[in-house]
Amino acid sequence: MTEQRTPPPAFPHKQVSAGALFLNESSKILLVNPTYKPPWEIPGGMVEADEAPMAACQREVLEEIGLAVAPVTLLSVGYLRAHSNRGDSVRFIFWGGVLDAATIAQIQLQATELSEYRFVTLAEAAALVRPSLHAQLGQCLTNLAINANGAIPHTYWEEV
């Protein structure tokens, strides 16, 4: 007698993105303005199939702003609930570092995707980015401050 097996149900798929938090020497956050969608974002993008989030972050930062960075510190993982035309997603934010004036001068925007960049305070970012990214950036800045005192720097954040 042969046993018939029922295939498992399809597992849900989540979009996964990875980005880097960069600060300038005045502790302002680097934001980029995408040409294809509002609002502003941090440098980064979607994780491709069979790609680790950190590798995606490095690839996207190089593509978008022309900087080769090696982010090694995970600052935050955020879960974002499904909205209108997009499903739920997970966003990884890595520490890109503090950019000095010479490095900032080397930024080259990917013209097909980005129109401009600017450095802003967290308060200024509130008017430019999605509320979920603003909240996660706040957590990242808190984690950086805690890390300066030797504590574990990463958190899990969930959109409510």
Domain architecture of the chain: domains with CATH: 15-148 (3.90.79.10)
The residues facing 94 across adjacent strands are 20, 74
| 46 Cβ contact list (under 8 Å, min separation 6) | 15, 16, 17, 56, 60
User: What is the pLDDT at residue 148?
Assistant: 65
User: What is the pLDDT at residue 151?
Assistant: 53
pLDDT in tens, 85-125: 778 899 999 999 999 999 999 999 999 999 999 999 999 99
User: What is the pLDDT at residue 34?
Assistant: 96
- φ, ψ of residue 114 in degrees (nearest 5): -130, 140
The string of DSSP codes covering 76-137 is EEEEE--BTTB--EEEEEEEEEEEPHHHHHT----TTTEEEEEEE-HHHHTTTS-HHHHHHH
Predicted model pTM = 0.86
User: What is the pLDDT at residue 103?
Assistant: 97
User: What is the pLDDT at residue 104?
Assistant: 98
64 in helix, strand or coil? Answer: helix
CA distance 57 to 96: 9
For residue 31, give the H/E element and its range.
strand 29-34
73 in helix, strand or coil? Answer: coil
Tell me the two tokens of residue 113: 């995707």
Low-confidence ranges of the chain (pLDDT < 70): 1-2, 71-72, 84, 147-160
